[in-house]
Amino acid sequence: MSIIDVLSSIVGDAFAAEGLNSALGRVVFSDRPDLAQFQCNGALAAAKAAKKNPREIGAAVAARLEADKRFEKVALAGPGFINLTATDAFLTEEIRAIAGDGRLGGWRNQEPETIVLDYGGPNVAKPLHVGHVRTAVLGESLKRLMRFCGDQVTGDIHLGDWGLPMGQLISEIARERPDLPYFDESFEGPYPEEAPVTLEDLERLYPQASAACKADKARLEEARLATAQLQAGRPGYRALWRHFIDVSHAALAREYGDLGVTFDLWKGESDVDHLIAPMAEELRAKGIVEKSDGAQIIQVARPDDKKETPPLILFKSDGSVLYGTTDLATILDRVRTIAPTRMLYVVDQRQALHFEQVFRAADKAGYFDADRLEHLGFGTINGPDGKPFKTRDGGVLRLRALIDQVRERALERMAEAHIAEGYSEEERTDIANKIGLAALKFGDLSNVRTSDYIFDIDRFVAFEGKTGPYLQYAAVRIKSILRKADEAPNAAAITLAAPAERDLALAMLAFAPAVRSAYEKRQPHILCDFVFNLAQSFSKFYAAHHILSEEDAHLRASRLALAAAAGRQIELTLDLLGVETPERM
């Protein structure tokens, strides 16, 4: 139980003793730490319900709390705010419990869920670029956070591997290399095990084919026919398409791995193709499919909609399927194979209407409740001009180039700050890679998920301010202290007495509420705010007090244990954000 829960129980009992709802006693960290450590605003809500003066209620509750030995001070402020300051003895007891806990006081969901987390969403045959960063980094962090809180989470990349782009590639290769056996309908196999195309070939062919189809209707018709034949099961096309998947999978796994992002499932749209026909038949039998201008649709509008919600198109007039069809079939597949209690989609905020249509259709079909399907939309990464981030020549920056860029800038900053001097080239490169990725990830995650943000590599890679490298440095500094100590930290030795010790303890006690809030709101930036405040509190503590050079053995042991717990909490929080900390810098 966190200190907030403990204090809320104490204050809740005081409200109950006054004949009021104990839930009104909810305590939070004070927004005026210069006045108090904690506060309760329940008197205002109680006054409205009881039709009494809030200060009168607040005074009555405060009077009861003054007798509690765990409070150093209880004061009434404003219209009825109850300000609370805990005793050092009580805070010491709470911080010892955190320091001795393997989870460091981290909140745990008492009703854990089975969750499918859909993030990534790259297309086969296309390289990852800066636009893929947010879904990958956010998804990885949320996966780690939810697992830490006790949920069983399956991360699914959900590849785009089954639409017109596949037909465009097939038809383009057929024009360049018609002699390949994949295009000979009389060929009986077996088809070559080695792919006839490399990743570089695919990266060249895809935009080439796309441009040709836009310029020439005949080329577009060729691609559509190839797509239809692929989806109908033409052996040669299926074999060639399989090569596309294998080549792309290897490249994607490598690039996501460089970013520190992993997936449990590598399923794509094609994996649910076999479900679409029987699903459509079932939906028609339920009477929820209508015909409209030759297309087959599911009406998802509701009487209370404030704006028009278009129907979900199940089949176009030519019989082809759209993303909505495969997304609906994917929900059905996940229900049957994983049986989740909730499904979360980390996808660009601009896809909000699409997911609203799909979720409502799934609910209407009886596949899954719409309120357990969540679209966790996010804003865009913008350049200094406020527009989606581009390279200097106006192109889309590839992820590999972005990672190289932040690593090189990290090496420059390390040299400027005289960090890792005298280390081997291998270790310096490893540290630079960790710093660069920390800069990139923390720079993204520290922003509210739903907001756009400006990509500023110079600010992100700085070793001062609210950045990933600053937090890594704080954790490494604590590791260095612990390596130099001649004793193991002992949580039982912690005793709070000085202001900087008390402030550091309070910062650490905010971990559980921060974890819970980040989890419930699906907002990793809350953890970023928490860990930055913790690092700043440690810095002030470190500046105010000796640790290793402290002559008083009891003070030394206390401060060493406090520093160790703070370091572990910083490192744990960074890990939840997907940021790795070097052993030294």
Residue 345, helix vs strand vs coil? strand
Long-range contact list for 472-477, CB < 8 A, 24+ apart? 472/434, 472/435, 472/438, 472/574, 472/579, 472/581, 472/582, 472/585, 473/585, 474/535, 474/538, 474/539, 474/570, 475/567, 475/570, 475/571, 475/574, 475/581, 476/581, 476/582, 476/583, 476/584, 476/585, 477/542
Closest CA to 558 of 533, 541, 577: 541
Q: Using DSSP bridges, classify how beta strands 81-86 and 38-40 pair: parallel, antiparallel or unpaired.
A: antiparallel
Closest CA to 576 of 145, 262, 143, 107: 145
**Spatial distance between the Cα atoms of 542 and 498, rounded to a whole number of angstroms:** 12
Q: Which residues of 489-527 are buried (b: 16+ CB within 10 A; e: fewer)?
A: bebebbbbeeebbbbbbbbbbbbbbbbbbbbeebbbbbb
**Residue 422 token pair:** 């005298």
**Spatial distance between the Cα atoms of 526 and 477, rounded to a whole number of angstroms:** 24
Burial of 8 (C-beta count, 10 Å sphere; 0-12/13-18/19+): buried
Q: Using DSSP bridges, classify how beta strands 453-454 and 381-382 pair: parallel, antiparallel or unpaired.
A: parallel
Closest CA to 224 of 323, 158, 160, 319: 319
Closest CA to 202 of 225, 237, 172, 159: 172
**Residue 563 token pair:** 């520093």
Looking at residue 548, its pLDDT comes to 94
Longest dimension (CA), the chain: 92
**Spatial distance between the Cα atoms of 47 and 56, rounded to a whole number of angstroms:** 9
Residue 363, helix vs strand vs coil? helix
Looking at residue 394, its pLDDT comes to 63
Amino acid symbol at 460 = F
**Spatial distance between the Cα atoms of 204 and 201, rounded to a whole number of angstroms:** 5
Closest CA to 509 of 159, 91, 11: 91
Looking at residue 393, its pLDDT comes to 64
Closest CA to 294 of 311, 277, 318, 314: 318
pTM of the model: 0.95
- Measured between its terminal Cα atoms, the distance across the chain in Å is 36
- In which residue ranges of the chain is pLDDT below 50? none
- Residue 200's CB is within 10 A of a number of other CB atoms, namely 11
Residue 543, helix vs strand vs coil? helix
Write phi, then psi, for 154 (nearest 5 degrees). Answer: -110, 120
**Spatial distance between the Cα atoms of 524 and 138, rounded to a whole number of angstroms:** 8
What angle do helix axes 323-337 and 352-365 make, rounded to 10 degrees? 50
